[in-house]
Amino acid sequence: MSHIPPPPRTLKPRSSQNSKLEIEKFKVWCDQMQRSLTVSDILVLISIAILSWLGWFSRRYHDGKGKKIPQPAGLPIVGNLFQVRQPNPWIQMAKWTKEFGPIYRLKMGRSDLIVLGSPKIAVELLEQRSSKYSSRPRNIMTSEYVSKGLRLTFMPYNDLWRRQRKLLHLLTQPKAASAYQPIQSQESAQLCLDLLRFPNHHWNHFQRSIQEKNYGCPISVSSWQLKCHFPCFVSLELIHIQICRFQPFYKSRSIASLKHPRSSDHEDERMQFEDDRDSGTRKISDRLHAVLRYLPQIISPWKRYGNQLFDQTLTLFSELYREVSEKLHLQPLDHSDSSPDACFVARIESLKESYQLSDDQAIFLAGAMFGAGSDTTADAIETFIFACAANPEKVANAQEELDRVIGRDRLPEFSDEDDLIYCGAMVRELLRWRTVIPGGLAHMTTEDDEYEGHFIPKGTTIVANHWSIHLDEKTYKDPEKFIPERFIDPQSGQLIGTKWSTYGHHAFGFGRRICPALHIANKSLFITFTRILWSFNIKIKESNLMSPEEFIKSIKFSTGFSSHPIDLNKSGSIEIIPRDPFSTLKTLVEAVENNGLDPIKLS
């Protein structure tokens, strides 16, 4: 290596003149360095830096602290980044699980993560050691710009998260969940009536069932949206003004077709309400290095974009929250009461001081609950339609049970759940067979840990891959097949789970980060699925000339945060036929009218 001059001797400046002199000496030394270093010298230094970094990265997981965690071969520097940056990364991860076992490591550029691929290891780490595995990895764009740390889903495991989670538990525990059954009942009846009248537009009906009940007359609650209902006083004009204002920022299908009952001009207005899933934020900076946050905004357009998303989202949440609060004329609530009239927003507003929540924190909590199920519930129902078309013999079994227990004179009710064992098993099997969030949500360790000889350092991102977990052959026989019977005890005839889950699946997550509304979600899916099965036959069109196996292979699924069959609505591959058109229509209209709804206006 060519001669490199030593740096100038440092002097402790006693005056501004000495300080200027030292700066000049340093500049001269830098010039000499620049002239002295050759290209080969620079390459050598870069190589040393890279090798040192790679050595540190490798030692982090197995330098005398345990067995090396296996890792798929990757590229220098970027590691496995490009191998998982594909439309369905959970499928590639499932292949690696078969090759490397239920725990392996991926290098994603400068960061790293550990993938869990079996229910056993996911439960043993994320649930049985939840005190160490309940935080979230840092996401510069989503957490710090788009939501300013206010979005519960992405909060680290800290005091604010614990206080908000405790409040949610109060509002969504099983006793409280039963309060929402009348609203879930009316919406499931309305959904079936919509399907009867317009069977070729089922995706719009699923979205209406999830969305419009938050704003229609009467405004109700969404099953997975944790009852963040905005009562009937809320003006739909406000909603549509906000949608039009936010249109440049919200482009996806999430919050679809919020239709004004007095106007058809808005039926195609859409907005992406869940900024944490927005494709723009994911494409821009899910991988942003923390150092980029220090760049000035003028050369960081993603900062401006994130700030705009936050401002727009907070404005919408605030407007809705304020209007609900004003119209309700909030009164002190009996929080032990499970009355369905106790609005979710009203409860948050009345309890926010007790849980030490600021106005923005309370508003974002209510808004996040509104957005929490905007895609997932509709995705689950759409996937159920797909599963029914692909498995006609399972549908026949469920309908035989419905006809035996319910008959044809009324709809299934929540009180029938204990007698509709096969239908309950279909709900469980659907959430296992085609889980709505196949990639899961990442956890992060807050302490060093060791598992079966593997060292897992503090700050490690942990991904429980739901896709491979639900296809685990040690837990589920023939996991690729849709078999509701796997969740029915052959001796007692009652519903059963697995060794690792009471419900038989892990669609709601793990440990302290499990979906707080799982009781509400299960009830909602049960009443919706059973009423669809009671009302309709769902079949592959005979003109398609496809077997069920060919049909399953022909339907692609979306690749976003949540997953559902793509273009099942437009492809014309299925048909939804009423089992008994006259009695079905009569029963559905009576059910909707008895709940105080106008079946024509809301459909």
Name the more confident of 254 and 541. 541
Please report the beta strands in 310-435, taking only residues with DSSP state E, as ranges in sequence order: none
Which pLDDT score is estimated for 451? 95
Which pLDDT score is estimated for 309? 86
Answer whether residue 449 shows pLDDT above 80. Answer: yes
Residue 104 DSSP class: E
11-61 residue pLDDT tens: 444 455 555 666 666 666 556 655 565 655 556 556 655 655 555 455 555
Secondary structure element (H or E) that encloses residue 443, with its range: strand 443-444
* Interaxial angle between packed helices 181-197 and 202-211, expressed in degrees from 0 to 180 and rounded to the nearest 10: 160
Name the more confident of 33 and 318. 318
- Which parts of 391-517 fold into alpha helices (H)? 392-405, 421-433, 466-470
Q: d(Cα 138, Cα 145) in Å, to the nearest integer?
A: 12
Rounded to 5°, angle at Cα 97 from 136 and 80: 65
Average pLDDT of the residues in 248-271? 31
Task: Report residue 57: phi and psi, to 5°.
Answer: -60, -45
Q: Quick check: is 281 in a domain? A: no
Count of structural domains within the chain: 1
Q: How far apart are the first and last CA of the chain?
A: 79
Lowest mean pLDDT among 123-127, 317-321, 482-486: 317-321
Average pLDDT of the residues in 207-219? 38
Both tokens assigned to 219: 């405004």
Answer whether residue 442 shows pLDDT above 80. Answer: yes
Contact 595, 182 (CB under 8 A): yes
455: left (phi over 0), alpha (psi -120 to 50) or beta: beta
Which pLDDT score is estimated for 93? 95
Contact 463, 457 (CB under 8 A): no
Question: Is 515 annotated in some ligand binding site?
Answer: yes
| Number of residues that make up the chain | 603
CATH of the domain at 221: 1.10.630.10
How many CA atoms lie within 13 Å of 570's alpha carbon, on the beta-carbon side? 3
pLDDT-derived band at 278, boundaries 50, 70, 90: very low
**C-alpha dihedral sign at 428, 433, 439, 443:** positive
Would you call the peptide bond into 479 cis, given omega within 30 degrees of 0 as the criterion?
Answer: no
Both tokens assigned to 295: 């760049």
Contact 348, 317 (CB under 8 A): no
Domain that holds residue 156: 152-246+295-595
Q: d(Cα 445, Cα 330) in Å, to the nearest integer?
A: 41
How many CA atoms lie within 13 Å of 121's alpha carbon, on the beta-carbon side? 23
In sequence order, the 6+-apart residues with CB closer than 8 A to the CB of 403 are: none
SS3 call for 291: helix
Which pLDDT score is estimated for 16? 52
pLDDT-derived band at 180, boundaries 50, 70, 90: confident
Average pLDDT of the residues in 334-360? 73
How many CA atoms lie within 13 Å of 296's alpha carbon, on the beta-carbon side? 2
Average pLDDT of the residues in 125-152? 90
Both tokens assigned to 223: 């099953």
Contact 362, 383 (CB under 8 A): no
Q: Quick check: is 59 in a domain? A: no
| Residue from 259, 277, 181 nearest 220 by CA | 181
Rounded to 5°, angle at Cα 325 from 233 and 209: 50
pLDDT-derived band at 157, boundaries 50, 70, 90: very high
Q: Quick check: is 299 in a domain? A: yes
Q: Which residues pair with residue 565 across a beta bridge?
A: 557
Q: Quick check: is 112 in a domain? A: no
Which pLDDT score is estimated for 95? 96
Number of Cβ within a 10 Å radius of residue 63: 12
Lowest mean pLDDT among 50-54, 136-140, 318-322: 50-54
Which pLDDT score is estimated for 64? 53
| Residue from 536, 206, 524, 529 nearest 382 by CA | 206
| Residue from 576, 594, 592 nearest 535 by CA | 576
- 98 to 68, 94, 122, 288, 512: CA distances (angstroms): 18, 7, 16, 31, 28
pTM equals: 0.77
Q: d(Cα 507, Cα 60) in Å, to the nearest integer?
A: 32
pLDDT-derived band at 408, boundaries 50, 70, 90: very high
47-100 residue pLDDT tens: 655 655 555 455 555 545 678 999 999 888 888 988 888 888 999 999 999 999
Q: What is the mean pLDDT of the chain?
A: 76
Which pLDDT score is estimated for 437? 93
Name the more confident of 431 and 573. 431
**C-alpha dihedral sign at 379, 385, 387, 389:** negative
Task: Report residue 108: phi and psi, to 5°.
Answer: -115, 80
Number of Cβ within a 10 Å radius of residue 572: 12
Q: Quick check: is 8 in a domain? A: no
Q: Quick check: is 416 in a domain? A: yes
pLDDT-derived band at 491, boundaries 50, 70, 90: very high
Q: Quick check: is 87 in a domain? A: no
536-540 vs 574-578, strand pairing mode: antiparallel
Q: Quick check: is 135 in a domain? A: no
